[in-house]
A and B are shown apart, each in its own frame.
Chain A
Amino acid sequence: MQKELMMGNHAIALAAIDAGVTFVSGYPGTPATEVVETVYKNKTDDIYVEWSVNEKVALEVAAGASYSGCRSIVAMKQVGLNACSDPAMNLSYIGVRGGMVIVVADDPGPISSQTEQDTRNFALYSKLPLFDPSSPEEAYTMTQKAFEISEKYETPVILRPTTRVCHSYAGVRRNKISLEPLKKGFEKDNKWVCFPALSYLNHLKVEKRFADLKKEFESLLYCQQYGWGNTLILSSGVNGAYVKEAIQCLDLQEEQYIFMQVATIPMPESAIVSLMDKIEKIVVVEELDGVIERQIYYLYGKTGLTAPRIYGKISGDMKAAGENTVDEIIDLLRKVFAIPELAENHPGTRDKAEGKKAVLCAGCPHRAAFYTVKRAMKDQKAVFCGDIGCYTLGKAEPLNMVDTCLCMGAGITIGLGIQKVNPDDIVFSFIGDSTFFHSGIQGILNGIYNNGKLTIIILDNGLTAMTGGQPTPETGANLCQSPQTVKIEQVLAGLGVQEISVVSPYSLNEGIDIIRKTAVLDGIKAIIFRSPCKKKQVAKKMVKVNEEVCNGCGFCIQELGCPAMTLGKGFIQIDKTDCNGCGLCTMVCQRQAILQIGGEYE
């Protein structure tokens, strides 16, 4: 077959299809989102795909499918694994029948995440096997290998790409593999029920499985050794590609090094052990945590050999946090191989300049909602708890309307806690529609149950915006099902929320009024700001600046920070390609210099 252009996430999805996957679930999260989307775009009729409401649910529905002999893939970002670590840990004991691959995308940097956690640690913790691809090509072959291993050992297998594999493009050749067909249907068996007595026996099985896999992984192609020198270079994931590039740049010769990827957990040990007494230096190139490095120290301790000089994260030779670059690896290898630095031959700056920060889009309904609450609570002692989504950007000046942000759904629960110990504060929690369904509901239930006091602002833009506009239970129209819709106000009423209002974020005065009235009430109250995401809007109402009236005071920019507005020569300029015509600026200008004149942008 010809090579196709695909990013790592496409490769994972297509490899799953080519391995006979029939059940796919997940929750959107950068950098994993495209896995589920790509299966959906390329699926055949026998493949079921859903966006689940959260990662815990996604893993559990896939477990049900796997118990019934379906091959399944579940995709999430690394923090999603925190939300589903309960079923993931238990599945390590209970096991699966149809092959199950859990794609957990780590995010060194982090580029779009809350933590730099390393999923390889979870593999060691849960004793689930893990594959760590270095390129889209490997993401493809490892996904297929993961299904094979999953069925052979009846265990879920974690595939852990990082952002630079997920969102990196390459030409990849597809290859259908023929795994043993599975008998479909759920068969009752005691093994599906976790009892302490069974868990003891399962623990023994898990330990044996881990030991067996260590041997199984010795023979993998990914463990190939390059070179025959006395410096051992080990790498994890995409760092393998960086190391190869660095070796090429420095023109290192094969008699100088041995290079090997450590592509799995458990780590295949025997190849490394056989080298341990011969090598003089070890370089470990990995991101996030020093997982391989720690295992190397352990191997020297276990074998009683004296460890050589080890260059890695734990030793302090590589930085503790953030993403690695080829340049840094070149610098490290220069140090290890004592290669002098070449004279700088490109003058000018090599310093990293600060880039433009992300902002809420022009016309974003979240800006209007934040601004409404800000105006309503001017001069009041109010706390604004935020949550995860585009609206975390409400933290930025000039809005500055996010005082806390912890994890999905925590805006509500942290708000409850803050209010309990600061009873005189007016506490608001902002939550998006998708986050509300993900894990906001439990917090609201807790607030009702424990007599909390909180004003919940639900920013309902009708989709999961940050990750590219996936559906939510409210919009229905999920991937494979006929649309079933769940209204947020019905859920709130069902939970026992007495005071529920729905308002447009663009009705500034009405919104201010409702907020002031609602905030002083006792109990759990909700105000839904409902307006679709501007990314999905086609028609855009035109806004015009009356250049004779505008005096260029810049008040609108200071208040709103809308990216479509700039201060020109004595008056405000609105960029027609950016402006979405929301009209918020027309309500803010004190001179009525900005007008919505009817008509739409071309």
Chain B
Amino acid sequence: MNEFIIAGIGGQGVITCSRLILETALEKGLEVRSAETIGMAQRGGSVLSHVRIGEQIYSPFIPVGKADEVISMDLAEALRNQRYLKCSGVAQTPDHTDRESLLAKTMLRSDINFNCYDMENEWKKTGTKRNTNIMMLGIVFSDGRYLISEKDIEKTLIKRYSGEIKKRMLEALVLGAEFSRKGKRIR
């Protein structure tokens, strides 16, 4: 079973991100389960999706200390949810200008990988901030560690979207895959 925590602030595409993983996994014949935050919290509050794919999954929730990866749209949210990660689990997040002060406030676990990606320039250059969620998927699924791959997600994007939106999403996915090679690992 692969277990992902998708984290962010309402409006950052957390729910789209989790649904793309689920849809792709179901298409591959895997069992899927998720729990999502919908409603009041979506007004700019912290939003969290638990996503589990594989077989014999009972609960939609990932217990604390079990997640393979925290996929976050925001550094503060990645820090906040590190408790879900298993030992040697990975947190992936865009970097933040306030990184040092955020890290000063929250103790980073020593038994996880915390990867930050400097996306600011890319966002400015390509106007892809809205598609950060898809870039994060590119980062996570490009090296074939999990039951679904970036190529599988690409198929779902092609099936689900059309026109300009599809084009931008596919570009973001490729960008993400490139980013996965230049993550800035903190500790």
Contacts and interface: CB of A to CB of B under 8 A. Distances in A.
A369 B33 CA distance: 41
A25 interface: no
B110 A348 contact: yes
Nearest to B109: A348
Given A171-B26, A249-B63, A330-B63, A348 B43 contact: no
A112 B19 contact: no
A139 interface: no
Interface string B76-113: 11011011011100000000000000000011111110
B32 interface: yes
Given A355-B45, A466-B40, A348 B107 contact: yes
Contacts of A164: 35, 60-61
A355 B80 contact: yes
A168 B36 contact: yes
B59 A244 contact: yes
B94 to A, nearest CB: 13
B41 interface: yes
B83 A349 contact: yes
Candidate in A245, A330, A358, A361 with the most chain B CB atoms within 10 angstroms: A358
Nearest to B80: A353
Interface in B48-71: 48, 56, 58-61, 63-65
Contact of B45 (A238, A356, A466): A356
Contacts of B64: 327, 350
B82 A349 contact: yes
Nearest to A171: B26
Contact of B39 (A327, A349, A467): A467
Contact of A169 (B11, B33, B127, B130): B33
Given A3-B26, A111-B39, A358-B41, A171 B32 contact: yes
A349 B108 CA distance: 8
Given A347-B109, A350-B83, A356 B46 contact: yes
A325 interface: yes
A355 B31 CA distance: 30
B61 A5 contact: no
Contacts of B58: 241-242, 244-245, 248
Contacts of A361: 43-44
Chain A: interface size category: 35 or more
Nearest to A170: B33
A5 B19 contact: yes
Contacts of B112: 348
Given A358-B44, A466-B39, A168 B33 contact: yes
Contacts of B106: 349, 353
A243 to B, nearest CB: 8
A359 interface: yes
Candidate in B31, B64, B85 with the most chain A CB atoms within 10 angstroms: B64
A3 B25 CA distance: 12
Contact of A325 (B10, B43, B61, B86): B61
A111 B41 contact: yes
A242 B109 contact: no
Contacts of B86: 346
Given A325-B61, A361-B43, A347 B110 contact: yes
A50 B86 CA distance: 46
A84 interface: no
B9 interface: yes
Given A31-B38, A327-B64, A358-B10, A345 B87 contact: yes
Contacts of B139: none
Interface string A466-510: 110000000000000000000000000000000000000000000
Interface of B: 9-11, 18-19, 22-23, 26, 31-46, 48, 56, 58-61, 63-65, 76-77, 79-80, 82-83, 85-87, 106-112, 127, 129-130
23 contacts: A7-B36, A30-B38, A164-B61, A168-B36, A169-B34, A169-B36, A170-B31, A170-B34, A171-B31, A241-B59, A346-B87, A346-B111, A347-B109, A347-B111, A349-B106, A351-B83, A353-B80, A355-B45, A355-B46, A355-B80, A356-B76, A358-B45, A466-B43
Interface of A: 3-5, 7, 30-31, 111-112, 135, 164, 167-171, 238, 241-242, 244-245, 248-249, 325-327, 330, 345-353, 355-361, 390, 393, 466-467, 563, 577-578, 602
10 nearest CB pairs, A to B: A348-B109, A355-B46, A30-B39, A358-B45, A112-B39, A244-B58, A245-B59, A358-B43, A168-B60, A112-B40
